[in-house]
Chains A and B, each alone.
Chain A
């Protein structure tokens, strides 16, 4: 298709703030893929701690993508990202073009993480990313096309739906959507819209079942595992499993929590602080760390998680077809505005997925080095970065474009 023509259409769509339609996506049959036993392979260890000088070059330009985005960066299967009806609320992806009359004043134009520009290089094609959470709606219009496989660890079957006394509650749905929602003209889009989801339902609180969930993700070929939960009391056996994943070349990300407290206190030993994972706090639409985001010296980055006091981050709904109370009269029942490190973490996981897509051989150590060295230093005068680290903001806000660029250089 003529590039200039596409550019013109994209520009008109953005300027008029109107969403376009799109074709339905193919539904992936998730009912037949099972994994009964954990793998006990010894040949998965390819992790190293090597890093390169390139990866250590600090790149702090946010490179807000919108003004000069080449149009092929936002095209997916003939559709434009800006075709998504709620692109205009997706400030974490394109803050320069995200606003309504109601939200214009509260969205900082630099609050995105350079995703659209990163899509010039990678959109996650060929990478499987696992989300371990409380359940998934495998029929959701903005998820079903990108599901590779699902598994219920508790019941050892493929039923990953979840209901409770409050109705359907699918925290995992929202988390997964922030990573793999396709560009399909339906509503929103994930950071890695061409990646595939391994959806793992885990309600059991037993450490042994948590290990089984990680093992399943590994056996299914996950390169990235996103965890929007924590115990503040991680067991040695869980840490051992996280080390196995690290050594196998799999990057695991954990949310830091929403209490607005330091994790650097006696008695707190959270999953997000483990050496073998990426610990993620939350930034808001004001382009700074949110007040609720837990912080600490062992976290790596903050990523868009939405600001409780203002708009929140737009994603697919966690309450089923009944809708949630967080639609703000702006979106339909399949979507909601949310906030939490729960959602910052899949956003960061999406960025790591893009990195793996452009360089499948990158190691978790290299991922960590790149993320921390390319993060954007946000906070202005409120921040105090010492050796590139700020107590509340870790190494800064994740920068998708620079991270993917550095991953590409390591090929």
Chain B
């Protein structure tokens, strides 16, 4: 099972693009050439709707479907760490060799997972 998963991920890596799924929709990203910060852990992108967003390069937020033993599902992916942020939301830290978009897409396509997207960095404006 694990060997099959790794094989599929290897193929997916070759074809990985800068996109993820959110609210069931594919969201394509264009990397910004002049990022706003020099933080090496964050890459900045522009969405197709024009909004800019930061992406933590090695972190994914994820929720499994109700009734699923999420940790068991995630164990197969050999992530660097999996931490529960809340009752149902997990923060995944990738290995250095694991691509953020490849794994966001792969996890999204897992039927046991409700959503998986990068850990975003978004400007929060006071109002």
Contact = CB atoms under 8 A, between A and B. Distances in A.
A230 B85 contact: no
Given A229-B126, A231-B124, A341-B127, A208 B23 contact: no
Interface in B68-127: 84-89, 91, 114-115, 117, 119-127
Given A208-B59, A208-B91, 5 more contacts: A202-B124, A215-B85, A235-B61, A237-B62, A255-B127
Main secondary structure of the interface of B (DSSP, over half): strand
A50 interface: no
A212 B89 CA distance: 10
A202 to B, nearest CB: 8
B104 to A, nearest CB: 11
Nearest to A132: B124
Given A237-B63, A237-B117, A267-B51, A229 B124 contact: yes
Interface of A: 38-42, 44, 133-134, 171, 202, 205-208, 210-212, 214-215, 228-233, 235-237, 240-241, 244, 255-258, 266-267, 340-342, 345
Interface residues of B, number: 31
Contacts of A133: 126
A237 B127 CA distance: 22
B13 interface: no
Contact of B23 (A202, A207, A236, A244): A236
A341 B67 CA distance: 39
Given A236-B115, A237-B115, A267-B50, A230 B124 contact: yes
Contact of B119 (A134, A208, A231, A258): A208
Contact of B87 (A40, A134, A256, A345): A40
B127 A228 contact: yes
Contacts of A244: 86-89
Residue of B85, B88, B114 with most chain A CB atoms under a 10 A cut-off? B85
B89 A235 contact: no
A365 B54 CA distance: 33
A241 B86 CA distance: 8
B34 interface: no
Given A211-B86, A236-B22, A236-B117, A206 B56 contact: yes
